[in-house]
Structure 1
Amino acid sequence: MADEQTPHDFDNFPSGLAGKRILLCTESLGPVNGVSRTTKMLVDQLRSNEVIVSVVAPYNHTKINTFNPISPSSNVNSLYQEEVRLAGYPLPFNPELSVAYPVRLSEIYRRTFGGPPDLIYLASPASLGFQVMLQMRQYAKELQVPVICNFQTDLARYCSVLFPWPLGGMANRTFGLVEGNLFRDSSVKTIFYPSTSVKKYLDKDANVPTNKMEVLRRGVNTKDFDPAKKSLALRKEWAPNGELILFTCSRIAGEKGFGFLAQVAKELDKEGLDFKLVIVGGNRNPVVFQEVKDMFGSLNEKGKVIFPGFKVGEDLMVHYASADIFLHCSITETFGLVVLEAMASGVPVIARDQGGPSDTIEQGKTGFLIPPDDLDGFVRKTMLLGRDSRLREQFALAGRAFACEATWERISNKAAWQMFDTIEQFKQDKQSGISTTQAPSVGWLPLSAPARRFLLPKIITAKIAFSLSIIFGFWTIVGTYLVFTDIGHLFKTHTPRASTLKRSVSHWIKG
């Protein structure tokens, strides 16, 4: 891997990357999730070091420029400060994200640099990233731009949770096959992975060559997420009688483990633990939000569960620091940035032992890891930590110390060095002629050189058209499902909820 071949000092940014043109395609921008926050940190770091970055993403509800402006001393054209937004269909269960409509790579080039960039970086590739990779592999080798992927979202696992049977299993297998096929192509030079679980998936399920894989964890700004930001006034608002404050922060959606969290909260209530559960996050689809809220049943009526809504910036950091224990119940996270943010805020964490948190939490030192299906174990550890303030303090100090070692600057610099090495290697390969003489496979045809020159562009166009037809076919199937889901949510929004109707009937009968 790159670190073994070319060791670098990640405290320093590669000066040779300045002036290079990076096309960064991402599925999410803005204050949406941990992936978008990670992408923002990387882009800001690149731009602050004079790298020309053009960002492309599907529209979301914000529709505003997300990133910090380029420094006034920069010679970079102001065009590249803006984001290029592509049309897409918003996901019914998470309207902040959209499935990008089919788009030609040449059109993306036209709207960004006017031509091919030096490198393409795909942040958590899905609807947009897949299109870029699929089209790139259809170009002749000398026209291919090197690609780096950052695998941050386990789409296969999400599909298993989100889609009903048998669509979930089919989508899971389909995504696994598609990702493996795309990642193995020679145009993809590096795949960053955030945790051991993702590496196993790439190795075993997607059959990605080991020499393409490079670990890239996430960081946290420990000046922003700081225990000193604890607010006694906020704690008093949440828990006026001094109750234990349990906390979680996530997009409000079923696949984030809220069903398990609701079971934990109900068991803790049965055990007599005096607590308030604060759930920070939101979902612009009111039906999904209400479905999650209803999971907690009578705890809502008792006032034991608090939904403060979506928080960002300083407000979010104060919310973190004002909690006693962070409960992480999602098992679909490739890293779980919220876990690291909680540790930086001096809040001990209890998490299900699957995905990224398994690499972040040191068992019995910075928190507890519980087998994914062990509800009783999760409840017992929460009871233990909730009733032992000294143990909470020990975990908090150890977690804070761990978080202080995970800085965004070093992580972004590592990604930047990989970009620099990839561009340099690609340049050397072109100069040596290693990858400039290959073309799409037409060698079985007895064609003259002029005929090959005539047919080659048409073959490329035909292959790209075929690739886009595959994308459009898959999108049509998924899109049809999304439309029906939207209709279902619309129906629920304008129809009395079953529980409300049941109560009304009950009152009418008693009356």
Structure 2
Amino acid sequence: MEEGQIPHYLDRFPLGLSGKRILLCTESLGPVNGVSRTTKMLVDQLRSHGTLVSVVAPYNHTEVNTFNPIGFSGDTNGLFREEVRLKGYPLPFNPELSVAYPVRLSEIYRRTFGGPPDLIYLASPASLGFQVMFQVRQYAKELQIPVICNFQTNLAGYCTVLFPWPLGEIASRVFGFAEGNLFRDSSVKTIFYPSTSVRTYLEKAANVPTDKLEVLRRGVDTEGFNPRKKSQSLRNEWAPNGELILFTCSRIAGEKGFGFLANAAAELDKKGLDFKLVIVGGNRNPVVFHEVKDMFKPLIEKGKVIFLGFKIGEDLMTHYASADIFLHCSITETFGLVVLEALASGVPVIARDEGGPSDIIERGRTGFLTAPDDVGSFVEKVLLLGRDWKLREQFSQAGRAFACGATWERISNKVAWRMSDTIEEFERTRELDASKARSPIKNWLLSKIVQVKIACALFAITGIWAPVSVYLFFAKIGHLVKKYGARAFTR
């Protein structure tokens, strides 16, 4: 593929991918989050052009599922299952996500297409994706189904936030080592990354070869997220006295920067800003949700902070468009899809200068970026933008124009073309390998070696699960103690 041809490819879907079998493994299928929304857009684009996609994920333990699988679908070779759920243990601090139990790759093949697919796509690989990569590399070269990864979640970054020092630092280094070891294997052909900060991490911390890395931004539904959906009645409900409406949308958890946001809101209140802070999002773990909510208790009592819970679809889009300023305080985002959704809604953004948002926001044009730990600077930017409606209008128009250039169709087509080229290269290489005849004895011996290597890989995966399960058990106990201990204390 010539580099000069790539822009032309993005306007159309590769015809050669029609009928190809894609095994798509994701850690998040159904919950309302950036990874799930991004994956759904890709799956819809692939299926709409005749690609056979079987999506595999752990159960999400929630009532929300944004996917609408048919079940069994026909193709020229028989039947395949469009969605397969695996057993896993829900994370105590985020029950929407589960750590997949050890599973044999051949069993995944059997439950999806009845045999190996043409390509494996790993959306934000973690517990399931790591298992798949670890097992693929055990096969003989000509049997290694090519793998494409989309690095959407910085697990190492989360570790430093979730765990106390020095455990967080140790876990971060372990993740970096494990990811680098898996990503460097020859079976992994491409690793998509969403932002400059992620590329830096992959190159330096994980030591991934640069020729495997390819940038993949995010798209946004500019018809759905649109300034036209601004609701005056909703604004009157939130701010009956015409207060400035500050808005954020995120999973309610400490690692999303809510401690920083609570401090910023308290400072804004001290400085006399007349505002309402509207927070959309939730957490299926009530302990975590109430821990975050308690950070804002004084302002909630004053009526300055409103928690609205989960919102989806048209309701979510209307909420975005009805705000004045979007505040993004997380520093663990590899991209920050909510920032792009806010810009598409015509809402200027103020964010901490860390991770994905640093690549999205144009300083002084669509929003402001401040030093990650500088609450004072963050507050100053909110005051500046909050008190100047003309500046907000300028930022709103520029942000909307920027977002309209990022369409899901072109982004999904970029992935589709990479899939098509990878499959074509793999089939060409496999034909060359097949031409080199082996004796039946050698083939038998190689198959036995592969079986032994797979068995050892599963043993290693199970061994890794042992300490993980211990941590998850004690984390669960800790949350239960907080939950019921708080109830007993209030009686």
Bigger mean CA deviation after superposition, 131-140 or 458-467: 458-467
- Map 1:351-500 to 2 at 5 A: 351-433=351-433, 452-496=442-486
Deviations, residues 389-427 of structure 1 (Å, cap 9, x unaligned): 000000000000000000000000000000001001111
SS of 1:207's partner is coil
Farther-moved stretch of structure 1 (325-334 vs 300-309): 300-309
Amino acid at match of 2:460: I
- Describe the SS at the equivalent of 2:486: coil
Match of 2:342 in 1: 342
Q: Distance in 2 between the 1:5 and 1:188 partners?
A: 24
Q: Which residue of 1 aligns with 2:292?
A: 292
Assess, with a 3 A threshold, how the Cα gap between structure 1 residues 271 and 78 changes in structure 2: closer, same or farther.
farther
C-alpha displacement of 1:203: 1.0
Residue identity in the other structure for 2:12: N
Q: Which residue of 2 aligns with 1:183?
A: 183
CA–CA separation in structure 2 for the residues paired with 1:154 and 1:257: 15
SS of the residue 1:494 aligns to: helix
Give structure 2 stretches of 5+ with no counterpart: none
Q: Is 1:59 aligned to residue 49 of structure 2?
A: no
Matched residue, 1:443? none
Q: CA deviation at 1:78?
A: 9.9
Alignment-derived partner of residue 98 in structure 2: 98
For 1:508, the equivalent position in structure 2 comes to none
For residues 168 and 69 of structure 1, the distance between their equivalents in structure 2, rounded to whole angstroms, comes to 38
Q: Following the alignment from structure 1 to structure 2, what is the Cα–Cα distance between the partners of residues 148 and 162? A: 28
* Equivalent-residue separation in structure 2 for 1:165 and 1:208 (angstroms): 27
* CA positional deviation for 1:496: 2.7
Per the TM alignment, residue 296 of structure 1 is displaced from its structure 2 partner at its CA by: 1.5
CA–CA distance in structure 2, aligned partners of residues 328 and 438 of structure 1: 59
Kept in 2, the 8 Å contact 1:44–1:67? The answer is no
Structure 1 320/77 Cα, relative in aligned 2: closer, same or farther at 3 Å?
Answer: farther
Distance in 1 between residues matched to 2:387 and 2:297, nearest whole Å: 25
After TM superposition, the structure 1 = structure 2 runs for residues 303-314 of structure 1, keeping only pairs within 5 Å, are 303-314=303-314
- The CA distance in 2 between the partners of 1:8 and 1:172, in whole Å, is 40
Between 29-38 and 13-22, the greater mean CA deviation after superposition: 29-38
Confirm or deny that 1:192 pairs with 2:196.
Answer: no
- In 2, are the aligned partners of 1:44 and 1:68 still within 8 Å (CA)? no
Name the SS for the 1:247 alignment partner: strand
Residues 197 and 293 from structure 1, CA distance in 2 versus in 1: closer, same or farther, beyond 3 angstroms?
same
* Structure 2 equivalent of residue 38 of structure 1: 38
1:507 aligns with none
Is the CA contact (8 Å cut-off) linking 1:326 and 1:347 kept in structure 2?
yes
Given that 2:194 and 2:356 are in contact with CA atoms closer than 8 Å, whether structure 1 keeps it comes out as yes
1:458 shift after superposition: 2.8
Query: Are the structure 2 counterparts of residues 80 and 244 from structure 1 closer, same or farther at C-alpha, using a change threshold of 3 Å?
Result: farther
- For 2:454 and 2:94, how far apart are their aligned partners in 1? 30
Deviates more, 1:168-177 or 1:485-494: 485-494
Q: 1:74 to 1:470 in 2, by over 3 A?
A: closer
Corresponding position of 1:238: 238
Match of 1:214 in 2: 214
- Asked if the contact 2:358/2:369 (under 8 Å) is kept, the reply is yes
Tell me how far apart the structure 1 counterparts of residues 2 and 146 of structure 2 sit (CA, whole Å).
15
- Contact 2:109–2:115 (CA under 8 A) maintained in structure 1: yes
The whole-number CA distance in structure 1 between the counterparts of 2:472 and 2:325 is: 36
- What residue number does 1:17 align with? 17
Residue 7 (structure 1) shift? 6.0
Report SS of the residue matched to 2:284. Answer: coil
Matches within 5 A, 1:137-156: 137-156=137-156
Query: Is structure 2 residue 72 aligned with structure 1 residue 82?
Result: no
Partner of 2:246, secondary structure, is: strand
Mapped to 1, the partners of 2:284 and 2:309 lie a distance apart of 11
- Supply the distance in 2 between the matched residues of 1:9 and 1:380 (Cα, whole angstroms): 44
Q: Could you tell me how far 1:178 is from its partner in structure 2?
A: 0.6
- Cα offset, 1:457, TM superposition: 2.6
The letter of the residue matching 2:288 is: V
The whole-number CA distance in structure 2 between the counterparts of 1:437 and 1:198 is 41
What TM-score, normalized to structure 1?
Answer: 0.91
User: Identical aligned pairs, as a percentage?
Assistant: 75
- 1:307 is matched by which residue type in structure 2? F
- Structure 2 distance, partners of 1:168, 1:194, is 24
User: Which amino acid letter does the alignment assign opposite residue 160 of structure 1?
Assistant: T
Matches within 5 A, 1:257-336: 257-336=257-336
Task: Report the alpha carbon displacement of residue 430 of structure 1 after superposing the two structures with TM.
Answer: 1.8
Residues 65 and 82 in structure 1, CA contact (< 8 A), matched pair in contact too? no
Q: Which runs of 5+ in 1 are unaligned?
A: 440-448, 505-511
* Closer, same or farther: CA 322–254 of 1 in aligned 2, 3 Å: same
The superposition leaves residues 106-158 of structure 1 with CA deviations (integer Å, 9 ceiling, x where unpaired) of 00000000100000000000000000000000000111100000000000001
CA drift of 1:207 comes to 1.2
Query: Equivalents in 2 of 1:479, 1:371: separation in Å?
Result: 37
Query: Aligned with 1:45: secondary structure?
Result: helix
Residues 57 and 77 of structure 1, relative CA distance in 2, 3 Å threshold? farther
Deviations 1:256-314 (A, max 9, x none): 00010011001101111111101100001000000000112311211111001100000
Separation of aligned partners in 1, 2:386 and 2:416:
42
Distance, in Å, in 1 between the alignment partners of 2:375 and 2:14 is 47
CA deviations 1:427-447 (Å, max 9, x no partner) are 1222233x98799xxxxxxxx
Q: Secondary structure at the match of 1:90?
A: strand
Q: What is the 5 A alignment of 1:103-122?
A: 103-122=103-122
Deviations 1:465-488 (A, max 9, x none): 222222222222122111111111
Distance 1:298 1:79, change over 3 A: farther
Distance in structure 2 (CA, Å) of the matches to 1:38 and 1:466: 34
Question: In 1, distance between residues paired with 2:201 and 2:435?
Answer: 33
**Contact 1:52/1:76 (8 A) holds in 2:** no
Q: Once superposed, what is the RMSD of the aligned Cα atoms?
A: 2.4
Superimposed CA distance per residue, residues 306-364 of structure 1 (whole angstroms, 9 cap, x where no aligned partner): 00110000000000001000000000000000000000000000000111100000000
Query: Distance between the aligned counterparts of 1:21 and 1:327, measured in 2?
Result: 41
Q: Distance in 1 between matches of 2:79 and 2:299?
A: 51
Q: What SS is found at the alignment partner of 2:12?
A: coil
Q: Which amino acid aligns with 2:100?
A: A
CA distance, structure 2, for counterparts of residue 494 and residue 369 of structure 1 = 40
Residue type of the partner of 2:164?
P
Distance 1:140 1:77, change over 3 A: closer
Once the two structures are superposed, residues 44-98 of structure 1 have per-residue CA deviations (whole angstroms, 9 ceiling, x without a partner) of: 000000000000000012477643567xx99689965631000000000000000
| Partner AA of 1:490 in structure 2 | L
